[in-house]
Structure 1
Amino acid sequence: MPGKLQNRLNDLDGREWLYWTDTLYITAYPPDATHPLRKKHGAMKPPEVMAEIIRFFTKRGELVLDPFAGVGGTLLGAALAGRASLGFELDPRWVDIYRTIQRDFVIAGGVFRRREETASTGTEIDGEMRQGDCLELLRQLEGESVAAVITDPPYGINHGARGFPGETNFNMTSPRRSGDLGQAPDLESFLARLQDIGREIHRVLWPGRYLVMLVGDRYQEGEYVPLGFLVAEAMRQVGFKFKGVKIWSNKATRRPLKPYAVKSVFVPNITHQNILILRKE
């Protein structure tokens, strides 16, 4: 009788594994207790979603790296999932918010609660955040030292509202910081900079393990820009294998539809993001 198949990637059972391979990924996580602080950043993600991704691509206790950590959604997800984590963030504003969350919140009953509400019985948020340029910080890490890289990078140039200035919060770039990937002058230089970072990610990642990137598509100058797949191709060129994509939308925080060019021409409301799954082979 053949032996039980060993799970080399995560701690999930077969049913949980199969469920997560669905390319449609619709969630409904409402804002959590840390959201009032994190919402100052225009591209934060629900920690619960990040925890689900982390649980699939790592085992308990393994190290997760986020080189574009923002206000720490990946690190908070890692804390929920029981994984060690390390984040790099260029802008000290976002580092300060994450460290405020570390100071004021703990995990109790599987959710984030204010420290004073838990009678000091919660679990600490222990992910480490380092402030600085991620390319330089990546170069300081040893090769093949990270179990997974899970990140939500800037989405390139000219990221701002066009015609509906109040529709969402675009506060995510770092003004006057030349190292900010979101300040790249054009798409070509954006992808080239991202490839430089991708080469370092490839170096520090364990063989056989995954780079997972959340990337939203864009609509600019009257044309749909499939940024997710352009980023995936850029990562393929530095050595990663593109293994698949999950189309993610969180119903609880999705912004209302806007009447772009209504009764004139088709303009999409982009309410999803691409979860790009790439592997070092």
Structure 2
Amino acid sequence: MVEVTTSVWATGQQPSRVQRQGRYVPESMRHPGKMLPSIAARVIETYTASGELVVDPMCGIGTTLVEAAHLGRHAAGVEYEERWARLAVANLGHARKQGAPGFGRVMAGDSRHIARLLPDLVGRAALVLTSPPYGAATHGHIRSSRDTGEPGVRKWNQRYSADRSNLAHQQLPQLLDGFGRILAGCVELLRPGGVAAITVRPYRVRGELIDLPGHVHQLAEQAGLVFVDRIVCLLCGLGDGSLLNRASFFQLHEARKGWARGLPIHAIAHEDLLVLRKRPSPASAEPLVSSAGRTQAGTLLRGDQ
């Protein structure tokens, strides 16, 4: 019987933009669904050691890879959208200029075939860290009438992709099928006993709460991973006896509309971090050598779409 624990991490003490300032190239803010750097860094510090390999199959602008490099780990990422992959390359190069000791590489391709895209890394990864998409668009950046003094809401940087093949465009059943295939491929990359950590939160569609963490938990176990921990990663800050709100304008707007209809809707103030392990095997995995991550920092490769 595997003992399952639950912890709370105070990862929202600073807003995302502050966590990224100077550490990532400014263009990184264009991506609408970035992982919080403090979450990535805490996971990597907790579940890996210096020189080990970290993989993100849906790496976006490279948050996982950058934080791994700064912590002296090597990293590899796959990103479907080439424009985000190029930003991941730029961020890795930026980290290298800042003295990050780790190396990384980025593959532009479809991570549903990740073991085929990264065959040299099969059985080598100490950690897979990633997050699924929440749809073709997110809240992005907004200015409300409160900010501008003009009626209406202006939005920008809210779309992942215009490519209809991107998983972000798929309905929930297709999204889950694709993400399940990604997890199955990641199991091949993990060494025996390696960790898969997935950040995920529930979301609402026309007011209905979708239990994406529950779905992802089931997919991960179907892929052969063993659930060992659930960590609550706070997106709000902890002040002196109070919580510092980090909820978006739209989260608060939806919550207020719900309360006006008599529905006790609350703004989500945390990410679920699901931690799972690959079953150990009697045979030892081949040790990680530096060449597994040591292409030039920020190399962009292309794989099959």
Preserved contact between residue 40 and residue 171 of structure 1 (Cα < 8 Å): no
How do 1:55-94 residues align onto structure 2 when only pairs under 5 Å count? 55-94=45-84
Q: Which structure has the higher relative contact order (CA within 8 Å, separation 6+)?
A: 2
Which region of structure 1 is more displaced relative to structure 2, 241-250 or 76-85? 241-250
Distance change (3 Å), C-alpha of 1:104 and 1:278: closer
> Are 1:153 and 2:132 matched, yes or no?
yes
CA distance in 2: counterparts of 1:72 and 1:226, whole angstroms:
26
Q: How far does the alpha carbon of each residue in 1:41-65 deviate from its partner, in whole angstroms, 9 at most, with x for none?
A: 0111233331211111111100100
CA distance in 2: counterparts of 1:130 and 1:136, whole angstroms:
12
- The Cα of 1:260 is off from its aligned counterpart by 3.1
Q: Which residue of 2 aligns with 1:272?
A: 270
- The Cα of 1:235 is off from its aligned counterpart by 1.2
> Are 1:25 and 2:9 matched, yes or no?
yes
Q: Secondary structure of 1:212's partner?
A: strand
Which of 143, 155, 163 is the aligned partner of 1:176? Answer: 163
Q: Which residue of 2 aligns with 1:113?
A: none
TM-score using structure 2 length = 0.71
How do 1:164-243 residues align onto structure 2 when only pairs under 5 Å count? 170-172=158-160, 174-178=161-165, 180-184=166-170, 186-243=171-228
Preserved contact between residue 69 and residue 88 of structure 1 (Cα < 8 Å): yes
CA distance in 2: counterparts of 1:149 and 1:203, whole angstroms:
11
CA distance in 2: counterparts of 1:126 and 1:280, whole angstroms:
24
Preserved contact between residue 80 and residue 107 of structure 1 (Cα < 8 Å): no
Which region of structure 1 is more displaced relative to structure 2, 202-211 or 141-150? 141-150
Aligned Cα RMSD in Å?
2.5
CA distance in 2: counterparts of 1:101 and 1:193, whole angstroms:
27
- The Cα of 1:208 is off from its aligned counterpart by 1.1
- The Cα of 1:193 is off from its aligned counterpart by 1.4
Unaligned runs of 5+ in 1: 1-20, 109-121
- The Cα of 1:93 is off from its aligned counterpart by 1.1
- One-letter identity of the residue aligned with 2:257: Y
Tell me the percent identity.
Answer: 26
CA distance in 2: counterparts of 1:61 and 1:125, whole angstroms:
7
CA distance in 2: counterparts of 1:128 and 1:168, whole angstroms:
29
CA distance in 1: counterparts of 2:247 and 2:156, whole angstroms:
8
Q: Which residue of 2 aligns with 1:260?
A: 257
- The Cα of 1:222 is off from its aligned counterpart by 2.4
- One-letter identity of the residue aligned with 1:46: L
Q: How far does the alpha carbon of each residue in 1:141-162 deviate from its partner, in whole angstroms, 9 at most, with x for none?
A: 253121110112213x46545x
Q: Secondary structure of 2:33's partner?
A: coil
Aligned residue pairs total 242
Preserved contact between residue 54 and residue 125 of structure 2 (Cα < 8 Å): yes
Unaligned runs of 5+ in 2: 145-152, 238-244, 280-305
Which of 104, 110, 113 is the aligned partner of 1:127? Answer: 104
CA distance in 1: counterparts of 2:154 and 2:209, whole angstroms:
21
CA distance in 2: counterparts of 1:35 and 1:150, whole angstroms:
21
CA distance in 1: counterparts of 2:60 and 2:224, whole angstroms:
26
Distance change (3 Å), C-alpha of 1:42 and 1:238: same
CA distance in 1: counterparts of 2:174 and 2:184, whole angstroms:
15
Q: Which residue of 2 aligns with 1:4?
A: none
